Amino acid sequence: MRASDNYRVYASFCSSSAPAAASATVSNWLESYNPTDNSWRPAGTVPGLPQDHVLKDFAMITLGGSIFIIGGRLCRKVYSTLHCSVVDMDVAVVPTVIRHDVSTGQWCACSPLATPRFNFAAAACAGGIYVAGGLCGLSGGARGTSSAEVYDPVADRWAPLPNMSARRYKCVGVAWLPGKVHVIGGFAEPQEEDEEEVEGNCSGGSHRKGGSLLRAALERSSAEVFDVLRGEWELAPGMWQLDVPPNEIVSMGGRLYSSGDCLNNWKGHIEVYDGKLGIWNILEGSHLDDLSSLSPSVLDGARGSSVGEQEEVEEEEEEAVATGGAVQRLYLTMAPVGTQLYCVAGYRVAPPTEASSSSLQATVVHTFDMATASVESTTTRRNTGGSWRSFEPVMEQSGTKELCGRCCVVQVA
């Protein structure tokens, strides 16, 4: 039996289009991926959402054989005549927490968050779920929060934690090192008391304001680490050395891995964090400019059936690939299982011919075998296969679904 036989990868999706009719409904649903046979199965609709509403920017955390969907931004999908496309209309920031028992398929409501939030950090550690940061409002002037809280699943209760040193949102949470929860990167702002001190000081105010801005820049490139035993936060300067927040960071085998940032979820390689030196290194053998190149069959759905059509489409694909137009990556999320790092990716595939108006959407799982990889130190080598592997894609009509949050891994046996 392989290690992957005992695990499932869960992801939450929603329709990427508005309801086609008044009687149609739009909601979030879960899908379960089985690494053993590369199969996706429906795992139920997320309950408790108003009709034709979807949940975005929530946290999905695994703990004790259950999946917890925490907080998020409630919105409706409507067609915008201004943008000539479907857009998300924000409705509310929600504090709701719901639990899905993987073994029984049952859902139940849990105690809500004390502070409603979305785009926040969350991680399971020492039997609890820790959340920190995020946005609490929807207005253009909404600002991040420094508040944090922990959930006890036995008592079904949230308890407040000390505030972080900065207000953060779009930060990433990960349990790394024994009893430590890391809140990494994000857009960071100084605490309100720091701003008041600057604004209320007429003498040397500009100098203090400059110092405050510098501090904010340093905090954006840092992490805040919560020690579960001591109940205290400490700053880890320079742990994320970019102004742009990370897309996702996962812990695997005592190391941290990243694929990119929230503006570019795949940067052409995987990076691994060196805790001793405090820097991110490129993982040797992980270089791949385009993940879809691992799965040429992603393009099969865009090919015609006759020989003439195939030749014509192949020429169009070559031209489109040169301009980056044949296959467009829609999302990417990572799931560590054993020594394999699973990358769940969604692609929009160009129409097969000019006569075809609708494009296709492909969900593809790529894996990277950490057992055959090592950290790249001084040289950069391109990889044409090696530790990478790609599975057969699942093809659907474009606009069928979009990923609503980062995936999670559940042990089922």
d(C-alpha 116, C-alpha 357), whole Å: 42
Which is more confidently placed, 321 or 278? 278
Looking at residue 99, its pLDDT comes to 98
Of residues 225, 240, 363, the one with CA closest to residue 295: 363
For residue range 140-186, list pLDDT tens digits in order. Answer: 777 899 999 999 999 999 999 999 999 999 999 999 999 999 999 99
* pLDDT on residue 19: 59
pLDDT at 204: 43
Residue 352's pLDDT is 60
**Confidence check: pLDDT of 287 > 80:** yes
Whether 146 and 164 have beta carbons less than 8 Å apart is answered as yes
The per-residue pLDDT for range 75-118, each reduced to its tens digit, is 988 877 776 777 889 999 999 999 999 999 999 999 999 999 99
* Range in 35-39, 66-70, 300-304 the model is least confident about: 300-304
**Residue 107 · residue 45 · CB < 8 Å:** no
Q: How many residues does the chain have?
A: 413
Domain 111-192+214-243 part of CATH 3.40.50.720: no
Q: What is the H or E stretch that residue 349 is in?
A: strand 340-349
What lies within 8 Å, CB to CB, of 27 at 6+ separation is 14, 15, 45, 46, 49, 52, 53, 54
Nearest CA-CA partner of 392 in 302, 326, 297:
297
Find which of 139-143, 332-336, 392-396 is predicted with most confidence, using mean pLDDT. 332-336
Confidence at residue 378, expressed as pLDDT on a 0 to 100 scale: 37
Q: Say whether pLDDT at 197 is over 80.
A: no
Kindly state the helix (H) or strand (E) to which residue 190 belongs, with its residue range.
Answer: none
The residue to which tokens 């991110």 are assigned: 280
CB-based contacts of 374, cutoff 8 Å, min separation 6: 283, 284, 285
CB 65 within 8 A of CB 7: no
Does 119 have pLDDT greater than 70? yes
Q: How confident is the model at residue 322 (pLDDT cuts 50, 70, 90)?
A: very low
Higher pLDDT, 205 or 394: 394
